[in-house]
Amino acid sequence: MIAALALVIFGTMAGLEGAERPNVLFIAVDDQNDWIHCLGKHPLVKTPNIDGLASRGTLFLNAHCQAPLCNPSRASLLTGLRPSTIGIYGLQPGIRDVDRTRNHVTLPQTFTRAGYFTFTCGKIYHDGSIKSADQAAEFNVWGPAPGPVRQARKFVTTPMGDHPLMDWGAIPERDEDQPDWKIASAAIEALQSAPADRPFFIACGFRLPHVPCYATKSWFDLYPEGEGLLPPVKDNDRDDTPRFSWYLHWYLPEPRLSFLRETRQWVPLARAYLASTSFMDSQVGRVLDALRATAQSENTVVVLWSDHGWHLGEKLVTGKNTLWERSTHVPLIFAGPGIARGAKSERTVELLDVYPSLLELCGLAKRPDLEGRSLVPLFKNSKAPWPWPAITTHNQGNHSIRTEQWRLIRYADGSEELYDILQDPNEWTNLAENPKFKDIKTELAKWLPKVDKPPAPGSRDRVLTYRLETGEVAWEGKTIRPSEPVP
pLDDT single digits (tens) 110-139? 999 999 999 999 999 999 899 999 999 999
Determine which one of 37, 42, 64, 70 is catalytic: 70
- The residues, any chain, with a CB within 8 Å of residue 51's CB and separated by 6 or more, are 36, 37, 38
pTM of the model: 0.95
Residue 437: closest CA among 416, 462, 460: 416
Domains of the chain: 2-455 (3.40.720.10)
Q: How far is CA 377 from CA 362, 405, 473, in A?
A: 15, 21, 43
Residue 152: pLDDT band with limits 50, 70, 90: confident
Q: How far is CA 465 from CA 76, 249, 462, 478, 479, in A?
A: 20, 12, 10, 10, 9
Reply yes or no on whether 362 is catalytic. Answer: no
At 416-447, the pLDDT tens digits run 999 999 999 999 999 999 999 999 999 999 99
At 339-363, the pLDDT tens digits run 999 999 999 999 999 999 999 999 9
* Phi, psi torsion values for 451, nearest 5 degrees: -100, 125
Reply yes or no on whether 126 is catalytic. Answer: yes
Residue 5: pLDDT band with limits 50, 70, 90: very low
Residue 20: pLDDT band with limits 50, 70, 90: confident
Cα gap 473→14, rounded to integer Å: 51
- The residues, any chain, with a CB within 8 Å of residue 481's CB and separated by 6 or more, are none
Determine which one of 42, 64, 126, 210 is catalytic: 126
